[in-house]
């Protein structure tokens, strides 16, 4: 019996197709099935007003780039139609097999944002939002060790920040950019940048570190809690810590100059 809702059996077929194509692929440096990313991007696209074609293309956005090139693209076109194949092709601009270096590949991807279709633009923004949220979460757990997963130019953390900050500029230059997705990318990049500006936990190495505010907190401190600051109370001792690890609970003082 045919469904009558927004998502038809074509979406079901795309889910099965994506799961099969990426069957053994996992998220970089983890044991998380790659399907988690594909389903997450499709969810963000649907939540941003995308239709079934955009949702299907979101599920398939990496299938040409990672799983078969032109042969796979022809198969996508045969199964799901020319429009979806064209969107997937636009989302596959970051070729990894032509010998180009990391920064050049990223620059080429960003250059394509200026001329890609609105559908590909939405999927690209959803893809990058899902990625930067995962990076920020992993940085909180692992600290700078997370950069070992990346092939970015050294220093890797700064290169990744450059890429996402440049993406925000490229998206913002488009009047038809999905504003909510771009704003969410911008917020997450800013959060990651703040975390990276603090020392990692000296006990567990995590990057989920907050500044400890002693005494009466300001309105800005209240607004920043609990993501950016922790409250230490009114009594300040000589050995009162400056930083607190949100993962293991260790507190420590910042290094102070010796006179």
Using CA atoms, how far apart are residues 84 and 239, in angstroms rounded to an integer?
Answer: 61
pLDDT at 95: 57
pLDDT digits (tens, 9 = 90+) for 58-80: 999 999 988 878 888 999 999 99
What are 244's strand-pairing partners? 210, 251
Those residues with Cβ within 8 angstroms of residue 96's Cβ, 6 or more apart along the chain or in another chain:
65, 105
Using CA atoms, how far apart are residues 69 and 195, in angstroms rounded to an integer?
Answer: 37
Helix, strand or coil, per DSSP, at residue 213: strand
pLDDT at 75: 95
DSSP code for 97: S
**Residue 248 in contact with residue 204, Cβ under 8 Å?**
yes
pLDDT at 98: 60
State the alpha helices, DSSP H only, in 81-173: 82-90, 102-113, 118-142, 156-172
**Confidence category of residue 99, pLDDT binned at 50, 70, 90:** low
pLDDT at 108: 92
**Residue 123 in contact with residue 175, Cβ under 8 Å?**
no
Using CA atoms, how far apart are residues 99 and 187, in angstroms rounded to an integer?
Answer: 33
**Confidence category of residue 130, pLDDT binned at 50, 70, 90:** very high
133 pLDDT above the threshold of 90: yes
**Confidence category of residue 232, pLDDT binned at 50, 70, 90:** confident
Q: Side-chain half-sphere of 250: how many Cα atoms within 13 Å?
A: 14
Higher pLDDT among residues 117 and 230, named by residue: 117
15 pLDDT above the threshold of 90: yes
pLDDT digits (tens, 9 = 90+) for 199-217: 999 999 999 999 999 888 8
Angle at 133 between CA 17 and CA 63, to 5 degrees: 20
């Amino acid at each position: 019996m045919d469904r009558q809702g927004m998502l038809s059996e074509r979406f079901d077929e795309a889910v099965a197709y994506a799961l099969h194509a990426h069957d053994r692929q996992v998220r970089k440096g983890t044991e998380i099935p790659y399907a988690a990313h594909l389903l997450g991007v499709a969810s963000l696209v649907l939540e941003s007003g995308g239709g079934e074609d955009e949702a299907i293309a979101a599920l398939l956005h990496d299938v040409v780039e990672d799983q078969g090139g032109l042969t796979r693209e022809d198969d996508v076109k045969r199964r799901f139609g020319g429009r979806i194949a064209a969107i997937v092709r636009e989302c596959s601009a970051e070729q990894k097999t032509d010998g180009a270096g990391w920064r050049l590949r990223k620059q080429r991807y960003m250059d394509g944002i200026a001329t890609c279709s609105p559908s590909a633009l939405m999927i690209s923004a959803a893809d990058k939002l899902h990625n930067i949220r995962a990076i920020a979460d992993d940085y909180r757990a692992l600290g700078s060790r997370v950069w070992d997963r990346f092939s970015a130019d050294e220093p890797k953390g700064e290169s990744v920040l450059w890429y996402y900050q440049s993406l925000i500029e490229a998206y913002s230059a488009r009047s038809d950019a999905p504003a909510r997705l771009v704003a969410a990318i911008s917020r997450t990049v800013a959060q990651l940048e703040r975390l990276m500006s603090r020392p990692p936990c000296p006990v567990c190495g995590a990057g989920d570190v907050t500044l400890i505010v002693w005494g009466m907190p300001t309105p800005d401190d209240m607004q920043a809690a609990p993501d950016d600051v922790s409250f230490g109370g009114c009594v300040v001792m000589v050995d009162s810590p400056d930083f607190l690890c949100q993962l293991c609970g260790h507190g420590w003082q910042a290094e102070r100059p010796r006179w």
